[in-house]
Structure 1
Amino acid sequence: MDKLDDVTTSILNAANIDETLLHTLNRDDLRDLFPGPEHFLRRKRVWALINPEDGNVKSGPSEGGTVSSPRGVPPICPQSSSPLVMKSPKKTLQLPSPPEYVVYTDSELEQARKHYSEMAHTGREGECVMSKELRCRLVRNTVTSMISILRASEQGKDVRYPSKHEVTSMAKRLGEYYPMLQDKDKTMKHMSIYNNLHKRLQNVKSPQKRQGPTPERGQPKKRSLIDFSSSDREENDADSSGASTIILHQTSGSSSDDGNRSPEKDSLIIQARHYKTLQEMFKKTKPNKDAVHQILDLEFDARRAFIDSDAMKEEDRPTKILDAYPCFKDLHHVMSELQRILDKDNITYIDEVKKRWEDFCAKVQFYGVSKKVMKPPMNLDAVEYAIALFKALPALFPSPTAPPKKLGNASEALLHVLQPTEDPTIYLQKRPHSALVLLFDGSRCLVTFGTTPITTFAKEDLCEGLLYLMAYYYTLHLTYPKCVATLLSVIQTEILQDSIHEQDMTTSYKKAMTEWKDFIGK
């Protein structure tokens, strides 16, 4: 630093930058320390001190493409726009035979590569190690991506997994793209990451087909498409996340005459293994939500076949489903299930639903005031506003069927506000209507079915309570109460934008929608 002028030295000292830290600075750092065109030459001098190899390059357009500089200032090579620039390997892996695989990356992994480049610039690349979390994520998503790409490219052919040669080639490419993964053994730099990929691949492979006794013909099929206690399910050696990332092979077919397992049954057995993994995860105190979400995605078809079947009476369905899937006591997973049912390819579906619900509530309050069903919501907080809205909605979108006399108002089929002296257990036992309902005790909200509590949520989210009820109606495959069927049908079509179930064609629904659209069209 003795070669620098006093102004430069004072600025560096004020920033607590010593001789060692000085050599870790890049061009962006210098622009932050010495901003403005008046410090242009000063930045070049500091850069030349940090990178003396740049200063030894001769100037002139014919000698390496460098740019001539003023007298006394070392020339700057335009190709060296940053000391951290590192030639990036290709992100694709093209083998002699299809398919072409892609190296997995995301923002955090790219940040790890950048950090390695910075450490390499100062000769300390040996200190850079990828965290266990990032390494597991890279391995998990790489194997998932390879299986998906392979099966997409070989549709109609026998199902296979990436070969040893393909996994080895991918391990080498990952070592090139993420140098911190390379082993110290120069001849076999890729062995550690290869072992990780191979172990992960073994965890997601389907069980081998086994010969079994030929089933007797003419026997009636079970109504439930999946038997969770079946001995066909095998142990799944899952990784630390508890989730298996196998891409299900969706095929259809019937059992062959020789008794071999059909492709359809293979798929169901794979999904049964996912279910067993899900059950093991919920033995933990706090299951990983992302891992549970992934398993629910994979096991979706078998689950919906089980839930939507007629094997259970409606009054027993919520208890049996929640016993089989305790994850649905979590609102996060229930809302995700709603998205899977109605628009599984739209990852922003729930956010869109909440935005439509917010817009709907903003308009419906004026509709309620014009109908003299609601008072102007002045001086009401969010909770009081939600209660007033829920009480008014059944009157704004009335159903032809009146509520039971003991229930009183139709809004009681949606929300009941407990009095200070009212016990929720006693109220539910005396309640004449066995259906989903929200209970609010002034401090928290409770979702129940009949006398069975399902889940609780904060009172601040009470305004979204009807969305939660709708999610449970879809998840548990329940029928709307007749006294609020028109209102819930309006939410189904206008807010959820359900296009897979039949639309309500009753006279009361058509009349309510006509009046509503006339109002918002004014």
Structure 2
Amino acid sequence: MEKLDHVTVSILTAACIDEPMLLTLSREDLRDLFPGPEHFLTRKRVWSVIHPEEDHPVTQTPETYSSPRVVPTARPQSPDAKKSQQKTLQLPSPPEYVVYTDSELEQCRKSYYDLAHVSREHECVMSKELRCRLVRNTITSMVSLLRASEGQMERYPSKNEITAMAKIIMEYYPMLKDNDASVKHESINAKLLKRLQNMKTPVKKQGPTPDRGRPKRRLTDLSPTDKEADDEDADCSSSSGASNLLLSPASSSDASTSSDRVSPQIQARLYRRLQEMCTKPKPNQEDVSQLLDLEFDSRRAFIDSDSLKEENRASHILDAYPCFKELHHVLGELRRILDPHNNKFVSQIKQRWQEFCSRVEFYGVSKKAMNPPMTMDKTEAHLALMKALPTLFPSPAHPPKKMGTAADAFLHVLKPTEDPDAVLQKRSLSCPVVMFDGCKCVIAVGNLPVTTFDKEKLGEAMIYVMAYFYTLHLTYPKCVATLLSVIQTEVLQDAIHERDTTSYYKKALAEWYAFIGK
């Protein structure tokens, strides 16, 4: 501190700053110690003592690499950092690349050289966030500069350019060098190349079709031209027999009578799009729903046909449409069947089911078919209600002997010693069933597990069961036919033809109407 006046030295001494600590002060620290414009010259003198090399700039001879040429911008701060100031990459032809930096990166770099004074530079490690920011912005800058200079939107930096930039980054930020590798810039070079590959987008090949420029994800514009439809028809005719059954619903004249019905060729094309989308790890569910809307006619013709046996129907349909293993797609199919133009259909059904259950609880208590639900938690109340439903709306047929009660047709509460797979294999009915183990619920159709849902949604389980009956076009078991028919008319509001009603259904419905005063 011999070069400083006694006033400055006294201020530094009062702040407990000795000479080693003085060399670590930044400009912000000096402004805190000597605030105000009157101390400008004082701050400048102290800064010249800390960084004497900045008062004597020296031009350094550029260093030449095997491919690009690097131009230094300033004199290094220390002998160990002779190459660290090189941050401009000059190629034989434009553009001139620049290493990205900001205040946080510069602070990390400054910390490295502060530790290097005491031979502790190995303790300085750049955080993952800063490293990712450096790689991302460096590649973005290189691509932008390259395209701006050449005017080519498809042009990307070459591998040699990336390697040269990796060397510059490693020298400017020496804490990134690989100490264990023979090539010190190998790690940063790999990250730059990976980032560049993620930026690359495939160039679409332009064909003769004038509609190639349309957005790829606009599913409402999937109708092909006449030539494309002929090609799709030819592809369908050359596919396997199973595909012909699914993709060419030529016998679906009774599936829809609307004048704007989509042709079978286009339906086949939509089905293949749907299959491709469902094979992705995370398909866009909105796109899947829209494809299910467009492909509805041929799908229902296939599902409702007599070519599928009742015991094998579920497995064949779920193999053809794996999206129906998702509950929201099954509920969407129920909407398409019963009320396709009502977007609030599912929420309305859930509301009607809650109202129905609240009345059935009083109905069951009055007929002594169940205990008052006030002494139970929600899960116990839902299970008690579902078990009492077949008693409140009885059917003339008895359940199979091995099954037990009629409620076992759609609900089975697993015991701690029971194996779910073994229970499913013993089932004699092919209808949907909810299996509950105390923690989660599983919906199975026959012997096939389909999907799971949380026990918090156990109160909506009968809605899911009805949705699978409609989606898979299954027949009601005789032992619970009256109950499911009542849910069909009262909750789903799907009318049953007069000749299809039984005396048990009429009697159960009459007693129900008398109870609710309808």
Q: TM-score range by the shorter chain?
A: 0.5 to 0.7
Counterpart in the other structure of 1:387: 383
- 1-side partners of 2:225 and 2:336: how far apart? 27
* Contact 1:398/1:508 (8 A) holds in 2: yes
Residue of structure 2 in register with 1:10 after alignment: none
Does the 8 Å CA contact 1:338/1:474 hold for their aligned counterparts?
Answer: yes
1:206 is aligned, of 219, 224, 231, to 224
Q: Which runs of 5+ in 2 are unaligned?
A: 1-210, 235-240, 251-255
1:317 aligns with 2:299: no
Determine the structure 1 residue equivalent to 2:298.
302
- Counterpart residue number, 2:343: 347
Provide the rounded CA distance (Å) in 2 between the counterparts of 1:503 and 1:418.
Answer: 39
| 1:267 and 2:263 are equivalent in the alignment | yes
Partner of 1:367: 363
Q: CA deviation at 1:283?
A: 1.4
Q: Which has the higher helix share?
A: 2
Q: Unaligned stretches of 5+ in structure 1?
A: 1-193, 216-222, 233-247, 253-263
2 CA distance for matches of 1:405 and 1:369? 28
Q: Secondary structure at the match of 1:347?
A: coil
Q: 1:401 to 1:205 in 2, by over 3 A?
A: closer
Residue of structure 2 equivalent to 1:74: none
1:64-463 pair list within 5 angstroms = 197=214, 204-209=222-227, 227-228=245-246, 251=259, 267-463=263-459
Task: Tell me which amino acid in the other structure corresponds to 2:422.
Answer: I
- Seen in structure 2, the aligned counterparts of structure 1 residues 343 and 250 have a Cα distance that, compared at 3 Å, is closer
Residue 207 of structure 1: how far off its partner (Å): 3.7
**1:468 pairs with 2:464:** yes
Distance 1:375 1:361 in 2: 14
Normalization by structure 1: what TM-score? 0.52
Task: Calculate percent identity across the aligned residue pairs.
Answer: 57
SS of 1:277's partner is helix
Residues of 2 paired with 1:361 and 1:506: CA distance? 23
Query: AA paired with 1:428?
Result: L
Question: Contact conserved, 2:246 with 2:302, CA < 8 A, in 1?
Answer: no
Aligned-residue offset at 1:306: 0.6
SS at match of 1:456: strand
Structure-2 separation of matches of 1:201 and 1:402:
49
Give the 3-state SS of the residue equivalent to 2:374 in structure 1.
Answer: coil
Going from structure 1 to structure 2, the CA distance change for 1:201 and 1:505 (only over 3 Å counts) comes to closer
| Residue 484 of structure 1: aligned partner | 480
Contact 1:225 1:305 in 2 (8 A): no
CA 296–198 in structure 1, closer or farther in 2 if over 3 Å, else same: closer
* Structure 1 residue 423 displacement after superposition: 0.4
For 2:402 and 2:426, locate their aligned partners in 1 and report how far apart those are by CA, in whole Å.
9
* In structure 1, distance between residues paired with 2:431 and 2:354: 25
Q: Distance in 2 between matches of 1:286 and 1:204?
A: 21
CA distance in structure 1 between the partners assigned to 2:481 and 2:381 by the alignment: 23
Partners of 1:397 and 1:202 in 2: CA distance: 45
Q: How far does residue 229 in structure 1 lie from its aligned partner after superposition? A: 6.2
Structure 1 residues 373 and 504: CA distance shift in structure 2, 3 A: farther
Task: For residue 408 of structure 1, report the CA deviation from its aligned partner.
Answer: 1.1
* CA deviation after TM superposition for structure 1 residue 198, in Å: 8.2
Q: After TM superposition, where is structure 1 displaced by more than 4 Å over at least 4 residues in a row?
A: 194-203, 209-212, 223-226, 248-252, 500-504
Report Cα offsets for 1:156-213 as digits up to 9, x if no partner. Answer: xxxxxxxxxxxxxxxxxxxxxxxxxxxxxxxxxxxxxx9955887997342425889x
Amino acid at match of 1:359: E
Structure-2 change in CA distance of 1:371 and 1:249 (3 Å): closer
Shift of 1:224: 9.6
Tell whether 2:508 aligns with 1:512: yes
Structure 1 residues 356 and 315: CA distance shift in structure 2, 3 A? same
- Distance, in Å, in 1 between the alignment partners of 2:219 and 2:247 is 26
1:383 shift after superposition = 1.1
* TM-score under structure 2 length normalisation: 0.53
Question: Offset at 1:450?
Answer: 1.7
1:20-39 matches, cutoff 5 A: none
Could you tell me how far 1:337 is from its partner in structure 2? 0.3
Contact 1:369 1:376 in 2 (8 A): yes
- Judging changes above 3 Å, is the alpha-carbon distance between structure 1 residues 459 and 195 closer, same or farther for their aligned structure 2 residues? same
Give CA deviations for 1:113-145 in whole Å, capped at 9, x if unaligned: xxxxxxxxxxxxxxxxxxxxxxxxxxxxxxxxx
Equivalent residues of 2:318, 2:324 under 8 A apart: yes
Given that residues 251 and 267 in structure 1 are in contact (C-alpha distance below 8 angstroms), is that contact kept between their aligned partners in structure 2?
no
Q: Which amino acid aligns with 1:390?
A: M
Q: 1:207 to 1:359 in 2, by over 3 A?
A: same
Secondary structure of the residue that 2:412 maps to in structure 1? strand
